[in-house]
Structure 1
Amino acid sequence: MAVAPARRRAFWSSPWAEESPRSPGPSADENKKKKPSSHHRLAAVMDAVADRKLPPELRGRANAVRSETDIINVVEQRIWHSMEEGHFENLPGKGKPLNLNSNPHADPAEDTLYRILSRNGCAPEWVELNKEIRGMIARWRSALRKAWANRSEDDHSTWHDDHRLLQEQIRQINDKVFRYNLIVPFGRQMFGLNWDKELDKLKQ
Protein backbone atom coordinates (compact mmCIF):
# COMPACT_ATOMS: atom_id res chain seq x y z
CA MET A 1 0.00 0.00 0.00
CA ALA A 2 1.53 3.31 -1.04
CA VAL A 3 1.88 6.13 1.44
CA ALA A 4 0.14 9.33 0.52
CA PRO A 5 2.46 12.13 -0.54
CA ALA A 6 1.15 14.46 2.16
CA ARG A 7 1.78 11.90 4.88
CA ARG A 8 5.23 11.12 3.43
CA ARG A 9 6.16 14.79 3.62
CA ALA A 10 4.84 15.01 7.16
CA PHE A 11 6.85 11.94 8.15
CA TRP A 12 10.16 13.31 6.89
CA SER A 13 9.50 16.82 8.13
CA SER A 14 8.82 15.77 11.72
CA PRO A 15 11.09 17.48 14.27
CA TRP A 16 12.66 14.30 15.55
CA ALA A 17 13.54 13.17 12.07
CA GLU A 18 15.34 16.38 11.10
CA GLU A 19 19.08 16.53 11.62
CA SER A 20 19.89 18.81 14.53
CA PRO A 21 22.16 21.70 13.53
CA ARG A 22 25.74 21.37 14.71
CA SER A 23 27.20 24.11 16.78
CA PRO A 24 30.14 25.73 15.03
CA GLY A 25 33.50 24.64 16.44
CA PRO A 26 35.97 27.08 17.93
CA SER A 27 37.75 29.16 15.39
CA ALA A 28 41.52 29.38 15.07
CA ASP A 29 41.48 32.79 16.75
CA GLU A 30 39.58 31.42 19.74
CA ASN A 31 42.07 28.57 20.07
CA LYS A 32 44.91 31.07 20.12
CA LYS A 33 43.15 33.05 22.83
CA LYS A 34 42.60 29.99 24.99
CA LYS A 35 46.12 28.65 24.56
CA PRO A 36 48.58 30.61 26.73
CA SER A 37 51.49 32.10 24.89
CA SER A 38 55.07 31.04 25.52
CA HIS A 39 55.70 34.40 27.20
CA HIS A 40 52.95 33.79 29.75
CA ARG A 41 54.12 30.22 30.36
CA LEU A 42 57.67 31.43 30.96
CA ALA A 43 56.42 34.14 33.33
CA ALA A 44 54.40 31.54 35.24
CA VAL A 45 57.46 29.29 35.60
CA MET A 46 59.60 32.20 36.81
CA ASP A 47 56.95 33.16 39.36
CA ALA A 48 56.80 29.57 40.59
CA VAL A 49 60.59 29.40 40.96
CA ALA A 50 60.68 32.73 42.80
CA ASP A 51 57.91 31.52 45.08
CA ARG A 52 59.85 28.35 45.92
CA LYS A 53 62.83 30.48 46.98
CA LEU A 54 60.75 32.20 49.64
CA PRO A 55 60.48 30.83 53.17
CA PRO A 56 57.43 28.58 53.65
CA GLU A 57 55.78 31.32 55.69
CA LEU A 58 55.75 33.64 52.67
CA ARG A 59 55.01 31.20 49.87
CA GLY A 60 51.86 32.00 47.96
CA ARG A 61 52.04 35.59 49.20
CA ALA A 62 54.71 36.97 46.88
CA ASN A 63 52.79 40.23 46.50
CA ALA A 64 53.09 40.78 50.24
CA VAL A 65 56.90 40.72 50.08
CA ARG A 66 57.81 44.35 49.57
CA SER A 67 61.55 44.14 50.21
CA GLU A 68 64.31 41.89 51.51
CA THR A 69 63.50 43.14 55.00
CA ASP A 70 60.35 41.01 55.05
CA ILE A 71 62.41 37.89 54.29
CA ILE A 72 65.09 38.86 56.83
CA ASN A 73 62.43 39.26 59.51
CA VAL A 74 61.20 35.71 58.87
CA VAL A 75 64.76 34.35 59.06
CA GLU A 76 65.42 36.22 62.32
CA GLN A 77 62.22 34.85 63.81
CA ARG A 78 63.37 31.33 62.95
CA ILE A 79 66.75 31.94 64.59
CA TRP A 80 65.15 33.26 67.77
CA HIS A 81 62.74 30.32 67.93
CA SER A 82 65.64 27.89 67.49
CA MET A 83 67.60 29.65 70.24
CA GLU A 84 64.63 29.49 72.61
CA GLU A 85 64.18 25.79 71.90
CA GLY A 86 67.89 25.12 72.53
CA HIS A 87 68.82 23.95 69.05
CA PHE A 88 72.17 25.76 69.29
CA GLU A 89 73.20 24.28 72.63
CA ASN A 90 74.79 21.04 71.44
CA LEU A 91 76.61 22.17 68.32
CA PRO A 92 79.95 20.47 67.61
CA GLY A 93 82.93 22.56 68.69
CA LYS A 94 81.00 24.61 71.23
CA GLY A 95 83.34 26.48 73.57
CA LYS A 96 86.39 25.73 71.40
CA PRO A 97 88.36 28.25 69.32
CA LEU A 98 87.47 28.43 65.66
CA ASN A 99 89.81 26.93 63.11
CA LEU A 100 90.63 29.81 60.79
CA ASN A 101 93.39 28.03 58.89
CA SER A 102 91.01 27.21 56.06
CA ASN A 103 87.89 28.73 54.59
CA PRO A 104 85.24 26.09 53.86
CA HIS A 105 83.32 28.53 51.66
CA ALA A 106 86.27 29.41 49.40
CA ASP A 107 87.40 27.59 46.31
CA PRO A 108 89.81 24.80 47.44
CA ALA A 109 92.48 25.84 44.94
CA GLU A 110 92.32 29.50 45.99
CA ASP A 111 92.26 28.55 49.67
CA THR A 112 95.44 26.47 49.24
CA LEU A 113 97.11 29.30 47.34
CA TYR A 114 96.26 31.83 50.06
CA ARG A 115 97.67 29.54 52.76
CA ILE A 116 100.95 29.18 50.85
CA LEU A 117 101.20 32.95 50.41
CA SER A 118 100.42 33.53 54.08
CA ARG A 119 103.10 31.09 55.26
CA ASN A 120 105.69 32.90 53.16
CA GLY A 121 104.70 36.35 54.39
CA CYS A 122 103.03 37.34 51.13
CA ALA A 123 99.54 38.52 50.31
CA PRO A 124 97.40 38.15 47.18
CA GLU A 125 97.82 40.84 44.56
CA TRP A 126 94.38 42.31 45.21
CA VAL A 127 95.20 42.75 48.92
CA GLU A 128 98.36 44.71 48.14
CA LEU A 129 96.53 46.71 45.48
CA ASN A 130 93.77 47.52 47.96
CA LYS A 131 96.31 48.97 50.39
CA GLU A 132 97.92 50.98 47.61
CA ILE A 133 94.59 52.41 46.43
CA ARG A 134 93.49 53.39 49.94
CA GLY A 135 96.80 55.15 50.52
CA MET A 136 96.49 57.01 47.22
CA ILE A 137 92.92 58.07 48.04
CA ALA A 138 93.93 59.36 51.48
CA ARG A 139 96.81 61.40 50.04
CA TRP A 140 94.64 62.70 47.18
CA ARG A 141 91.88 63.88 49.51
CA SER A 142 94.44 65.58 51.73
CA ALA A 143 95.87 67.41 48.69
CA LEU A 144 92.36 68.37 47.58
CA ARG A 145 91.53 69.87 50.98
CA LYS A 146 94.78 71.82 50.97
CA ALA A 147 94.24 73.13 47.44
CA TRP A 148 90.65 74.07 48.25
CA ALA A 149 91.70 75.95 51.37
CA ASN A 150 94.48 77.84 49.54
CA ARG A 151 92.39 78.89 46.56
CA SER A 152 92.02 82.62 46.02
CA GLU A 153 89.00 84.41 44.63
CA ASP A 154 91.24 87.04 43.03
CA ASP A 155 93.85 84.73 41.52
CA HIS A 156 92.46 81.54 39.96
CA SER A 157 95.75 80.45 38.41
CA THR A 158 96.86 78.45 41.47
CA TRP A 159 93.53 76.62 41.76
CA HIS A 160 93.55 75.99 38.02
CA ASP A 161 96.95 74.27 38.24
CA ASP A 162 95.93 72.27 41.32
CA HIS A 163 92.65 71.34 39.66
CA ARG A 164 94.42 69.97 36.60
CA LEU A 165 96.90 67.97 38.71
CA LEU A 166 94.17 66.54 40.94
CA GLN A 167 92.11 65.56 37.91
CA GLU A 168 95.06 63.63 36.50
CA GLN A 169 95.62 61.89 39.84
CA ILE A 170 91.97 60.90 40.14
CA ARG A 171 92.17 59.24 36.72
CA GLN A 172 95.18 57.23 37.86
CA ILE A 173 93.37 56.16 41.03
CA ASN A 174 90.25 55.10 39.13
CA ASP A 175 92.38 53.10 36.69
CA LYS A 176 93.79 51.15 39.62
CA VAL A 177 90.30 50.71 41.08
CA PHE A 178 89.13 49.28 37.76
CA ARG A 179 92.01 46.80 37.72
CA TYR A 180 91.39 45.92 41.36
CA ASN A 181 87.73 45.14 40.70
CA LEU A 182 88.73 42.72 37.94
CA ILE A 183 90.91 40.54 40.18
CA VAL A 184 89.29 40.87 43.60
CA PRO A 185 86.96 38.10 44.84
CA PHE A 186 83.27 38.74 44.31
CA GLY A 187 81.71 41.03 46.89
CA ARG A 188 84.88 43.03 47.66
CA GLN A 189 84.69 45.52 44.79
CA MET A 190 85.12 49.22 45.52
CA PHE A 191 83.90 52.44 43.93
CA GLY A 192 86.18 54.91 42.23
CA LEU A 193 86.39 58.60 43.01
CA ASN A 194 84.02 61.16 41.54
CA TRP A 195 85.32 64.72 41.23
CA ASP A 196 81.96 66.46 41.69
CA LYS A 197 81.04 64.39 44.74
CA GLU A 198 84.42 65.02 46.37
CA LEU A 199 84.00 68.77 45.87
CA ASP A 200 80.47 68.65 47.28
CA LYS A 201 81.85 67.07 50.46
CA LEU A 202 84.25 70.00 50.87
CA LYS A 203 81.52 72.58 50.32
CA GLN A 204 79.25 71.12 53.00
Structure 2
Amino acid sequence: MNRWESLIDQKIREAMEQGEFDNLAGKGAPIDLSENPFEDPGWRTAHRLLRNAGFAPAWIEERKDIEFEIDAARNQLERVWTILQNERGTKDESDAKSRWERALASFRQQAIQLNRRIAAWNLKVPSAGFQRKRIDAQREIEQVSIRRT
Protein backbone atom coordinates (compact mmCIF):
# COMPACT_ATOMS: atom_id res chain seq x y z
CA MET A 1 0.00 0.00 0.00
CA ASN A 2 1.47 3.40 -0.88
CA ARG A 3 1.46 6.38 1.46
CA TRP A 4 -1.49 8.07 -0.29
CA GLU A 5 -3.68 5.03 0.20
CA SER A 6 -2.64 4.90 3.83
CA LEU A 7 -3.49 8.58 4.29
CA ILE A 8 -6.89 8.13 2.64
CA ASP A 9 -7.63 5.05 4.73
CA GLN A 10 -6.63 6.95 7.85
CA LYS A 11 -8.94 9.90 7.01
CA ILE A 12 -11.88 7.58 6.33
CA ARG A 13 -11.27 5.69 9.56
CA GLU A 14 -11.11 8.96 11.54
CA ALA A 15 -14.36 10.18 9.96
CA MET A 16 -16.05 6.87 10.81
CA GLU A 17 -14.83 7.06 14.41
CA GLN A 18 -16.22 10.61 14.68
CA GLY A 19 -19.60 9.38 13.41
CA GLU A 20 -19.60 11.42 10.23
CA PHE A 21 -21.16 8.53 8.28
CA ASP A 22 -23.86 7.69 10.85
CA ASN A 23 -26.71 9.89 9.61
CA LEU A 24 -26.38 9.59 5.84
CA ALA A 25 -29.58 9.65 3.78
CA GLY A 26 -30.55 6.17 2.65
CA LYS A 27 -28.39 4.40 5.22
CA GLY A 28 -29.25 0.70 5.21
CA ALA A 29 -31.40 0.98 2.08
CA PRO A 30 -30.40 -0.88 -1.09
CA ILE A 31 -28.73 1.22 -3.75
CA ASP A 32 -30.94 1.88 -6.77
CA LEU A 33 -28.91 0.82 -9.77
CA SER A 34 -31.82 0.83 -12.23
CA GLU A 35 -30.70 4.14 -13.74
CA ASN A 36 -27.36 4.63 -15.43
CA PRO A 37 -25.98 8.00 -14.30
CA PHE A 38 -23.76 8.19 -17.39
CA GLU A 39 -26.62 7.61 -19.81
CA ASP A 40 -27.88 10.48 -21.94
CA PRO A 41 -31.21 11.52 -20.33
CA GLY A 42 -32.76 11.80 -23.78
CA TRP A 43 -32.13 8.11 -24.39
CA ARG A 44 -33.03 6.87 -20.91
CA THR A 45 -36.65 5.94 -21.71
CA ALA A 46 -35.74 4.23 -24.96
CA HIS A 47 -32.99 2.20 -23.28
CA ARG A 48 -35.32 1.19 -20.44
CA LEU A 49 -37.97 0.00 -22.92
CA LEU A 50 -35.42 -2.01 -24.87
CA ARG A 51 -33.90 -3.48 -21.70
CA ASN A 52 -37.35 -4.48 -20.38
CA ALA A 53 -38.11 -6.13 -23.73
CA GLY A 54 -34.96 -8.25 -23.42
CA PHE A 55 -32.77 -6.31 -25.83
CA ALA A 56 -29.17 -5.44 -25.12
CA PRO A 57 -26.72 -3.08 -26.80
CA ALA A 58 -25.45 -4.36 -30.15
CA TRP A 59 -21.95 -5.01 -28.81
CA ILE A 60 -23.37 -7.27 -26.07
CA GLU A 61 -25.51 -9.18 -28.57
CA GLU A 62 -22.48 -9.60 -30.82
CA ARG A 63 -20.45 -10.93 -27.88
CA LYS A 64 -23.13 -13.56 -27.30
CA ASP A 65 -22.95 -14.56 -30.98
CA ILE A 66 -19.15 -14.83 -30.84
CA GLU A 67 -19.29 -16.94 -27.66
CA PHE A 68 -21.94 -19.20 -29.24
CA GLU A 69 -19.72 -19.78 -32.29
CA ILE A 70 -16.67 -20.46 -30.12
CA ASP A 71 -18.63 -23.03 -28.10
CA ALA A 72 -19.93 -24.66 -31.29
CA ALA A 73 -16.39 -24.93 -32.71
CA ARG A 74 -15.09 -26.41 -29.45
CA ASN A 75 -17.96 -28.89 -29.24
CA GLN A 76 -17.39 -30.06 -32.81
CA LEU A 77 -13.70 -30.58 -32.10
CA GLU A 78 -14.52 -32.51 -28.90
CA ARG A 79 -17.01 -34.73 -30.76
CA VAL A 80 -14.43 -35.70 -33.38
CA TRP A 81 -11.80 -36.27 -30.66
CA THR A 82 -14.20 -38.59 -28.85
CA ILE A 83 -14.82 -40.53 -32.07
CA LEU A 84 -11.06 -40.85 -32.59
CA GLN A 85 -10.58 -42.15 -29.05
CA ASN A 86 -13.43 -44.64 -29.40
CA GLU A 87 -12.10 -46.00 -32.69
CA ARG A 88 -8.48 -46.46 -31.57
CA GLY A 89 -7.32 -49.98 -32.28
CA THR A 90 -10.22 -50.71 -34.64
CA LYS A 91 -10.28 -51.00 -38.41
CA ASP A 92 -11.90 -47.53 -38.56
CA GLU A 93 -8.97 -45.84 -36.82
CA SER A 94 -7.43 -44.50 -40.03
CA ASP A 95 -10.77 -42.95 -41.02
CA ALA A 96 -11.06 -41.39 -37.58
CA LYS A 97 -7.53 -39.99 -37.82
CA SER A 98 -8.23 -38.39 -41.19
CA ARG A 99 -11.49 -37.00 -39.79
CA TRP A 100 -9.48 -35.59 -36.84
CA GLU A 101 -7.00 -33.92 -39.20
CA ARG A 102 -9.88 -32.34 -41.14
CA ALA A 103 -11.45 -31.22 -37.85
CA LEU A 104 -8.16 -29.63 -36.77
CA ALA A 105 -7.86 -27.73 -40.06
CA SER A 106 -11.48 -26.62 -39.80
CA PHE A 107 -11.05 -25.51 -36.19
CA ARG A 108 -7.92 -23.53 -37.00
CA GLN A 109 -9.76 -21.81 -39.85
CA GLN A 110 -12.72 -21.05 -37.57
CA ALA A 111 -10.31 -19.65 -34.97
CA ILE A 112 -8.84 -17.29 -37.58
CA GLN A 113 -12.32 -16.10 -38.54
CA LEU A 114 -13.39 -15.73 -34.91
CA ASN A 115 -10.21 -13.86 -34.02
CA ARG A 116 -11.00 -11.38 -36.79
CA ARG A 117 -14.47 -10.90 -35.34
CA ILE A 118 -13.04 -10.57 -31.83
CA ALA A 119 -10.54 -7.94 -33.00
CA ALA A 120 -13.33 -5.94 -34.66
CA TRP A 121 -15.59 -6.42 -31.62
CA ASN A 122 -12.86 -5.25 -29.24
CA LEU A 123 -12.87 -1.92 -31.09
CA LYS A 124 -16.62 -1.51 -30.47
CA VAL A 125 -16.79 -2.09 -26.73
CA PRO A 126 -17.18 1.00 -24.53
CA SER A 127 -14.24 0.14 -22.28
CA ALA A 128 -11.07 -1.94 -22.55
CA GLY A 129 -12.28 -3.94 -19.55
CA PHE A 130 -14.93 -5.55 -21.76
CA GLN A 131 -12.50 -6.72 -24.42
CA ARG A 132 -12.15 -10.43 -25.08
CA LYS A 133 -8.93 -12.32 -25.58
CA ARG A 134 -8.38 -13.92 -28.94
CA ILE A 135 -8.58 -17.66 -29.35
CA ASP A 136 -5.32 -19.58 -29.18
CA ALA A 137 -6.20 -22.47 -31.49
CA GLN A 138 -3.25 -24.63 -30.44
CA ARG A 139 -4.06 -24.21 -26.75
CA GLU A 140 -7.72 -25.03 -27.40
CA ILE A 141 -6.72 -28.20 -29.27
CA GLU A 142 -4.43 -29.23 -26.42
CA GLN A 143 -7.24 -28.61 -23.92
CA VAL A 144 -9.61 -30.88 -25.85
CA SER A 145 -7.11 -33.72 -25.83
CA ILE A 146 -6.41 -33.19 -22.10
CA ARG A 147 -10.09 -33.01 -21.09
CA ARG A 148 -11.10 -36.01 -23.15
CA THR A 149 -8.22 -38.34 -22.30
TM-score, L = length of structure 1: 0.53
Write the letter of the residue equivalent to 2:83: N
Write the letter of the residue equivalent to 1:125: A
Instruction: Give the aligned partner of residue 116 of structure 1.
Output: 46
Q: Identify the structure with bigger relative contact order (alpha carbons < 8 Å, sequence gap 6+).
A: 2
Instruction: Give the aligned partner of residue 116 of structure 2.
Output: 175
Deviation string for 1:156-184 (max 9, x for gaps)? 31112111221222222222212221111
Instruction: Give the aligned partner of residue 66 of structure 2.
Output: 133
Instruction: Give the aligned partner of residue 142 of structure 2.
Output: 200
Deviation string for 1:50-71 (max 9, x for gaps)? xxxx96x25xxxxxxxxxxxx5
Deviation string for 1:67-106 (max 9, x for gaps)? xxxx5xx4895488358524443332212232223223x3
CA distance in 1, matches of 2:107, 2:29: 52
User: Which one has a bigger Cα radius of gyration?
Assistant: 1
CA distance in 1, matches of 2:46, 2:145: 48
Instruction: Give the aligned partner of residue 188 of structure 1.
Output: 130
Correspondent of 2:34 among 98, 101, 104:
101
Instruction: Give the aligned partner of residue 104 of structure 2.
Output: 163
Q: Secondary structure of 1:191's partner?
A: coil
Unaligned residue ranges in structure 2 (runs of 5+): none
CA distance in 2, matches of 1:188, 1:93: 31
**Are the aligned partners of 2:80 and 2:103 in contact in 1 as well (CA < 8 Å)?**
yes
CA distance in 1, matches of 2:71, 2:11: 41
1:81 paired with 2:13, answer: yes
Change (3 A) 1:169 1:93: same
Between the two proteins, the alignment pairs up a number of residues equal to: 133
Identity fraction in percent: 26
Q: Secondary structure of 2:29's partner?
A: coil
Deviation at 1:118, TM superposition (A): 3.3
CA distance in 2, matches of 1:202, 1:114: 45
Deviation string for 1:116-150 (max 9, x for gaps)? 13313232101101111121122222112222222
Write the letter of the residue equivalent to 1:135: F
Change (3 A) 1:93 1:136: same
Write the letter of the residue equivalent to 1:118: R
